[in-house]
């Protein structure tokens, strides 16, 4: 079994564990002989992610060897340097501009999806292009089309890198299929060359881009803005894109929920469509939409697990952690609030509203928490809710054929073969 197959099978394992042994931690051997601790207990997960985070270092060497150091992969001083560099822009973004760009590209996505009524598999590449366009315009002030590379290049590089996700420490050197390695090297060259065009002195650089270029002059951190942007493209776009796909899957699978959301949001757009500020507030405060996003992220977190490497021994609720253990926090398993429901594996807007949106819900857990919380969480929630509001109003989703879901790990979790959906404009 290849490393990619092992990673994809692991997603299925996490769902089976969450269903069959809810809230229970598990220990399993890795194929390289190390112990893997799978954490579903929320209090234990909080110790790993927040209360004793310094004992549990990131385990992203598989990405570092392919695309270099970045905020995603680094720890310690190197991580703090990168975090302090990008967080002012990711955390203190212009909410009005975020809503405007998300609305604009949401309409573009809806319009083009509606042009393919006979298609029976969701065009996720189209969605990805729209979400990446939001990111490049929001934070770089550049049109995606101005970058001389295919819009899916960074995502493909991360997908290729994910084949090494379960490689043991000390074995990180690129190895395996020669065609796989050649594609990595060619893609990396293509992406870095394309991003170098943003260095042009004639370009009106965004504040974020200016800060990154300036950071290259600081000694001791091996900072290269092409590497950092490659990570941001993946982390800032793939998560949103795959979430949109899973959302359309849920809407098609549960048509009554889809119609409830459509009716409510259609009324919002009819009442406030002429006033962007009022519309922005109404979408942000829409109770059913907020519950839907929480359920979406609970059931299908785009990053279903976070891996850490234990540096020293530690005591969790039911197990002793040993130095060198691989500690996996299951973001599927720690979403524990819904487990009190009769059927926690179906979306329930009313139950989500009653339970709130704090710890143990997808709204929090899917973005990690503690000092390494996803820096773009607030922006991502605005972007996701806004684009979904447009798609729910303008499109009707139907299941084209029913087949079991097969998860595929590509640095994020997607559905192998794509979502089996038909989409039509509502007129």
* Residue 343 backbone phi and psi in degrees, to 5: -135, 90
Of 339, 329, 337, the closest CA to residue 304 belongs to: 329
182 is written with which tokens?
Answer: 């050649």
The residues that bridge with 38 in the sheet, in sequence order, are 26, 328
Nearest Cα residue to 329 out of 316, 311, 312: 316
- Sequence-separated (6 or more) residues with CB below 8 Å from residue 62: 161, 162, 163, 164, 165, 166, 167, 172
Separation of alpha carbons 337 and 356, rounded Å: 9
Measured torsion, CA atoms of residues 167, 173, 179, 183, in degrees rounded to the nearest 10: 100
* DSSP codes, 304-343: -EEEEEE-S-EE-SS-EE-TT-EEEEETTTS--GGGGSS-
- Residue 126 contacts residue 427 (beta carbons within 8 Å): no
Q: Provide the CA 427 distance to its chain's centre, in angstroms.
A: 31
Q: Which 3 state secondary structure label does DSSP give 211?
A: helix
Alpha carbons 372 and 393: distance in angstroms, whole number: 35
The response to whether 374 counts as a known ligand-binding position is yes
The 8-class DSSP code of residue 138 comes to I
- Rounded CA-CA distance 200/148 in Å is 14
Q: Which residues are annotated as a binding site?
A: 374
Q: Which residues are annotated as a binding site for heme?
A: 374
């Amino acid at each position: 079994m290849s490393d990619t197959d092992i990673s994809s099978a692991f997603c299925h394992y996490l769902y089976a564990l969450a269903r069959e042994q809810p809230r229970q931690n598990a220990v399993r051997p890795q194929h390289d002989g190390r112990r893997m601790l799978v954490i579903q207990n929320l209090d234990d997960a909080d110790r790993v992610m927040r209360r004793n985070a310094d004992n549990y270092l990131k385990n992203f060497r598989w990405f570092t060897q392919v695309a270099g150091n970045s905020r995603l992969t680094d720890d310690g001083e190197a991580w703090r340097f990168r975090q302090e560099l990008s967080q002012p822009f990711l955390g203190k973004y212009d909410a009005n501009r975020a809503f405007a760009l998300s609305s604009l590209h949401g309409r573009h996505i809806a319009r083009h999806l509606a042009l393919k009524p006979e298609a029976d598999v969701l065009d996720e590449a189209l969605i990805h292009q729209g979400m990446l366009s939001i990111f490049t315009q929001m934070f770089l002030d550049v049109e995606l089309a101005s970058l001389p590379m295919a819009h899916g290049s960074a995502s493909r590089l991360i997908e290729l890198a994910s084949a090494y996700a379960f490689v043991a420490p000390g074995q990180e050197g690129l190895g395996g299929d020669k065609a796989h390695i050649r594609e990595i090297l060619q893609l990396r060259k293509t992406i870095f060359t394309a991003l170098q065009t943003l260095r042009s002195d004639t370009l009106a650089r965004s504040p974020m881009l200016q800060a990154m270029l300036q950071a290259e002059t600081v000694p001791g951190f091996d900072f290269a803005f092409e590497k950092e942007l490659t990570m941001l493209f993946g982390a800032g776009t793939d998560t949103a894109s795959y979430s949109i796909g899973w959302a359309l899957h849920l809407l098609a699978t549960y048509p009554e929920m889809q119609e409830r959301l459509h009716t409510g949001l259609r009324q919002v757009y009819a009442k406030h469509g002429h006033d962007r500020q009022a519309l922005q507030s109404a979408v942000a405060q829409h109770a059913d939409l907020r519950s839907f996003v929480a359920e979406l992220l609970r059931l299908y977190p785009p990053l279903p697990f976070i891996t850490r490497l234990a540096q020293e021994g530690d005591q969790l609720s039911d197990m002793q952690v040993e130095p060198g253990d691989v500690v996996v926090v299951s973001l599927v398993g720690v979403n524990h609030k819904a487990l009190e429901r009769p059927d926690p594996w179906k979306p329930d807007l009313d139950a989500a509203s009653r339970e709130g949106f704090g710890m143990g819900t997808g709204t929090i857990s899917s973005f990690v928490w503690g000092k390494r919380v996803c820096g773009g969480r607030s922006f991502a929630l605005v972007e996701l809710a806004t684009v979904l509001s447009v798609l729910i109003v303008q499109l009707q989703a139907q299941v084209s054929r029913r087949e079991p879901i097969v998860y595929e790990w590509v640095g994020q979790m997607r559905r192998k073969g794509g979502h089996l959906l038909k989409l039509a404009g509502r007129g």
